[in-house]
Amino acid sequence: MNEFDVVGKSVEKIDSLSLATGNARFTDDFRLENQLHLAILYSPHPHAEILDIDDSEARKMNGVVDILHYKNVEGVLHTTAGQGYPEPSPYDTVLFDRKVRFVGDRVALVAAEDKDIAGKAIKSIKVEYRILKPILDPEKALDKGAPRIHDGDEFTPIPVKYSPERNLAAEIEIGFGNLKKGFKEADFIVDEVYTTQFASHAAIEPHAALSYLDEQGRLVIITSTQVPFHVRRIVSMVLSIPVSRIRVIKPRIGGGFGGKQEVLLEPLVALVTLRNKRPARLVLEREEVFRSTRTRHPMRIRLKTGVGEDGRITTLKMDALLNSGAYGTHALTVLSNTGAKVLPLFNKIENVHFIGRSVYTNLPVGGAYRGYGATQGYFALNQQLDIITRKTNQDILKFLKDWHIREGETSDVFRALGEGKEGVSQIIKSCKLDECIDRGAKEINWYEKRDKKIRARGDRVKGVGVAIAMQGSGIPMVDMGSATMKMNEDGSFNLNIGATDLGTGSDTILAQIAAEVLKVPVEKIIVLSSDTDFTPFDVGAYASSTTYVSGGAVKKCAEKIKGQMLDVASGLLESKPEELIIADEKIFNKKKGKAVSFEEIAFHSLYRENQFQIQAEASHFGIESPPPFIAQFAEVEVDKRTGKVDVVKFVSAVDCGQPINPKLAEGQVEGAVINGISYALCEEYNFGSTANLLNCSFWDYKIYTTLDIPEMVTIIVESFEETGPFGAKSVGEIAINGPMPAIANAIYDATGVRLFDSPFTSEKVYNRMKEEGII
């Protein structure tokens, strides 16, 4: 076990007291004088051409200041995906188009003196539409003669397969070994189709953005974003203003989960501010968040596996169809992740083929969502393995241990499948998945419950299911984070980071990393994050990158600071730097029995001799992306009279390397698990006859509350990743991958019924039991 002073300790999250006392400010909490309030007019049609917009009535209304639509705003093609440059998503979006592609697509925007006036004004804008035939079924999007959703100058900034004329937003195909040979060697084939649904991120803070001009006339944007630097770049591009004229500030943000990795509102407030020289505020209503922002991509995954009588998997073919909705944001990368984050886990399958297609439809737009395609892929694969092991009478836990990737091993998938290009080869250096499986199984009491169909009260029957998963730690050779630090007179340090804390606690764990290097309590690290004027670049909070990538930058930066302090101390102590040690905010020469305090070092360097600021900067990008691993176990009770599924206990055992802050790491797992269970059992989009979303409120789109949650156990398994800062890997996304398949497998264990189509609502489970003649 590695001994640390600050790392591995559950120090209090540094912003938590200010949040708990209501002091901390979120985007909408900032006051602006003389501001304009914005309201958006959305399309009521899934697919239509705008023939004309008449805003004359609205313009006459008292208090209306500006109205924007395709007639007066230049259409610059871009992607709303807040990804690195050039983005692996197609440039298929303009701020205001002549065409609308889903119910909730943006048509016009009103800026007015107050919110009520803006809201009234949008209703008096007259829009003449020519209704077009929509595509509502992703299976039909590629059909010959299907209506074309994007028929302008859309393009992809990187060379990837993209055919808007066929409604194909992305396509990926990779393979190893010999699929035919693999099927030939098989004694039987398991061929199943799994489908997953739309889901909302449901961050409790709605999307919000403000903008104003500072004293110099520069544009300042305060926004609830996961990607402040990408916001700056994309706003610069879309509005044709230099990056130097834009400052983006991310204050506290009320949850993201991928939903705020999109640049949706920032160009709008910015444009209104630039046109009117007045501050602008746009805060979405909950209904607008559901209707117009982003969702988890629904997927249909067909898995075809060749299996030997001995239970060996001879071959695996994964065919994925991703419903991208009206725009192609993250259409390629979520799809590639379904292969890239799933297939390597079972690296002993010799013959593998992955084909994925993302298609445009006239439905809400998919985007980044915690798990990012891996979630959908693991839903399919973990059930398929449950089916195979049952058919071949194998102990699934033993099977999983035999087949998963291990330390010292690799997978061809790592090399073959990257973000719109080849991936990066890597050898697994830390994997404690066996221990995760063992400890999780023990906690759920696996062998006492599996296949027992234990009766509970009423007509309820119990079952247990398991799922395993991996994720990554940032995008290798792509994601970069950086940090600057300086030392103050009292031996405290400013740590400025581009990294974006969206409630995850990244400010805290990055402070812990710096504190560990410098052997100071975390209170001595003053963190400023996510202000493009004052903090160095970071790609932002996505792809499970912050701990590993930004953490790597912070560690390097703090080590440079330490080097400078040792230099100063060696002069003061008349010693060589290598004779010195750091402890208790002092630097010692033990041999000489002399010490100098951090305070003295700071004063000396700032005021006394050869004065200079002890300060440093460092950048870091991952050359690999070590996966965290997880084993998750669900115990369910299924009511045979109603089909209602209750998860009564859920166990997650995770290898995330060395947790920097164990309680915060647990919190990441717990939050992801409950989101995952809620997604598995009750979250879905219901559409009306015009493809309009019907359940766009928290009353109708149910997410889990305290009354719904099961007994939760989270086990952090001891592990150390040598390439990570102090042994750390990521933990933000991984735990959302297991709930859905583990629950599906547990439902089967209880009832003998397979759920291939999520969510597992009472109605669906009941009908499946009827179909199978169980009831």
Comparing CB distances to another protein, the nearer of 77 and 713 is 713
* Residues near 127 by beta carbon (within 8 Å), at least 6 away in sequence: 41, 50, 52, 53, 54, 107, 108
**Cβ 24 to another protein shortest distance, Å:** 6
Binder among 168, 199, 202, 734 for another protein (CB under 8 A): 202
Q: Is 674 in the site for another protein (CB under 8 A)?
A: yes
**What is the rounded distance in angstroms from the CA atom of residue 119 to the CA atom of residue 123?**
7
Minimal distance, residue 752 CB to another protein, in Å: 30
CB of 229 or CB of 704, closer to another protein: 704
Asked if 26 touches another protein (CB under 8 A), the answer is yes
Distance CA 209, CA 80 (A): 15
Candidates 398, 550, 542, 552; CA nearest to 471 is: 542
Looking at 2, 20, 489, 767, which residue binds another protein (CB under 8 A)? 20
Q: Which is nearer to another protein, 263 or 696 (CB)?
A: 696
State which of residues 4, 5, 9, 25 lies at the interface with another protein (CB under 8 A).
25
Of 401, 400, 416, 410, the C-alpha closest to 339 is 416
Minimal distance, residue 271 CB to another protein, in Å: 24
| Residue 492 CB contacts under 8 Å (≥ 6 apart), including other chains | 520, 524, 525, 526
The Cα-based distances of 520 to 285, 478, 676 in angstroms read 44, 32, 38
Which stretch in 20-28, 135-143, 560-568, 579-587 sits in contact with another protein by CB under 8 A?
20-28
Does 203 help bind another protein (rule: CB under 8 A)? yes
Q: Which window, 358-366, 402-410, 589-597, 663-671, contacts another protein (CB under 8 A)?
A: 663-671
- Segment contacting another protein (CB under 8 A): 89-97, 385-393, 618-626, 703-711? 703-711
* Cα distance between residue 327 and residue 359, in whole Å: 9
DSSP 470-484: E--SS-TTT-EEEEE
Of 163, 613, 686, 697, which one interacts with another protein (CB under 8 A)?
Answer: 697
For residue 46, say if its preceding peptide bond is cis, omega within 30 degrees of 0. no
Taking CB under 8 A as the criterion, the residue among 16, 613, 686, 690 binding another protein is 16
**Cα–Cα distance for residue pair 646/641, rounded to 1 Å:** 13
Which one, 104 or 328, has the nearer CB to another protein?
104
Q: Pick from 521, 496, 518: which is nearest to 507 by CA? A: 496
- The residues facing 651 across adjacent strands are 633, 713
Query: Is the CB of 2 or the CB of 697 nearer to another protein?
Result: 697
Contacts of 76 (CB under 8 A, 6+ apart): 94, 95, 237, 238, 239, 240
Residue 632 CB, shortest distance to another protein, in Å, is 13
Are the C-beta atoms of residues 680 and 740 closer than 8 Å to each other?
yes
Strands (E), 600-746: 615-621, 629-639, 645-655, 711-716
Q: Which one, 298 or 503, has the nearer CB to another protein?
A: 503
Q: Which stretch binds another protein (CB under 8 A): 94-102, 385-393, 582-590, 664-672?
A: 664-672
Binding mask 501-520 for another protein (x = CB under 8 A): -xxxx---------------
| 3-class DSSP state of 678 | helix
Number of C-beta neighbours around residue 309 at 10 A: 10
Assign 61 to helix, strand or coil: coil
CA neighbours within 13 Å on the CB side: how many for 759? 22
Residue 10 binds another protein, judged by CB under 8 A? yes
**Cβ 713 to another protein shortest distance, Å:** 10
Binding another protein (rule: CB under 8 A), the pick from 4, 5, 9, 24 is 24
Number of residues that make up the chain: 775
Instruction: Give strand pairing partners of 354.
Output: 174, 318
Question: Which of residues 352 and 497 has its CB atom nearest to another protein in the complex?
Answer: 497
- Cβ closest to another protein, residue 675 vs residue 723: 675
499 binds another protein (CB under 8 A): no
Based on CB atoms, which residue is closest to another protein, 254 or 311? 254
Cα–Cα distance measured from residue 473 to residue 725, given in angstroms and rounded to the nearest whole number:
12
34 binds another protein (CB under 8 A): no
Q: Judged by CB under 8 A, does residue 100 bind another protein?
A: no
Least Å distance, CB 285 to another protein, is: 6
Q: Are 253 and 196 in contact (CB under 8 A)?
A: no
Q: Which of residues 392-431 bind another protein (CB under 8 A)?
A: none
Tell me: does residue 663 bind another protein (CB under 8 A): yes
Q: How far is the CB of 469 from another protein (least distance, A)?
A: 17
User: Out of 209, 467, 634, 673, which residue is the one contacting another protein (CB under 8 A)?
Assistant: 673
Q: How far is the CB of 513 from another protein (least distance, A)?
A: 18
Please list, residue by residue across 136-164, b when 16 or more beta carbons sit within 10 angstroms of its beta carbon and e when fewer do: bebeebbeeebbebbeeebebbeebebeb
Residue 698 touches another protein, criterion: CB under 8 A: yes
> Which of the residues 577 through 596 are near another protein (CB under 8 A)?
none
Chain-centroid distance, C-alpha 529: 19
Amino acid making up residue 5: D
**Residue 17 vs 694, nearer CB to another protein:** 17
Interface with another protein, residue 686, by CB under 8 A: no
22 binds another protein (CB under 8 A): yes
Least distance between another protein and beta carbon 34 (Å): 15
**Furthest C-alpha separation in the chain:** 87
> 3-class SS at 700?
coil
Rounded-to-integer distance, Cα 446 and Cα 759, Å: 24
Phi, psi of 578 (to 5 degrees): -70, -10
Is 682 a binding residue for another protein by CB under 8 A? The answer is no
Binding status of residue 23 toward another protein by CB under 8 A: yes
* Residues 6+ positions from 619 with CB-CB distance below 8 Å: 480, 481, 482, 536, 537, 553, 556
Query: CA-to-CA distance for 321 and 298, rounded, in angstroms?
Result: 9
* Sole binder of another protein in the list 3, 31, 159, 215 (CB under 8 A): 31
Q: Which stretch binds another protein (CB under 8 A): 572-580, 581-589, 705-713, 719-727?
A: 705-713
Closer residue to another protein in complex, CB, 37/555:
37
**DSSP for residue 26:** B
Tell me the per-residue interface mask from 220 to 259 with another protein, x by CB under 8 A, - otherwise: --------------------------------xxxx-x--
Number of residues forming the site for another protein (CB under 8 A) = 58
**What number of other Cβ atoms are within 10 A of residue 443's Cβ?**
16
285 binds another protein (CB under 8 A): yes
- CB-nearer residue toward another protein: 491 or 671: 671
Burial class (CB in 10 A: 0-12, 13-18, 19+), 175: middle
- Which residue in 283, 303, 469, 573 binds another protein (CB under 8 A)? 283
Which range binds another protein by CB under 8 A, 230-238, 445-453, 543-551, 699-707? Answer: 699-707
Q: Cβ 204 to another protein, closest distance in Å?
A: 5
Binds another protein by CB under 8 A, chosen from 21, 62, 240, 611: 21
Binding of residue 603 to another protein (CB under 8 A)? no
- Identity of the residue, 28 or 443, whose beta carbon is nearer to another protein in the bound complex: 28
Binder to another protein among 4, 9, 19, 213 (CB under 8 A)? 19
Assess contact for 534 and 574: CB atoms under 8 A.
no
Site for another protein, rule CB under 8 A: 10, 12-13, 15-26, 28-29, 31, 116, 201-206, 252-255, 257, 283, 285-286, 502-505, 663-664, 666-667, 670-675, 697-699, 703-707, 709, 712, 714
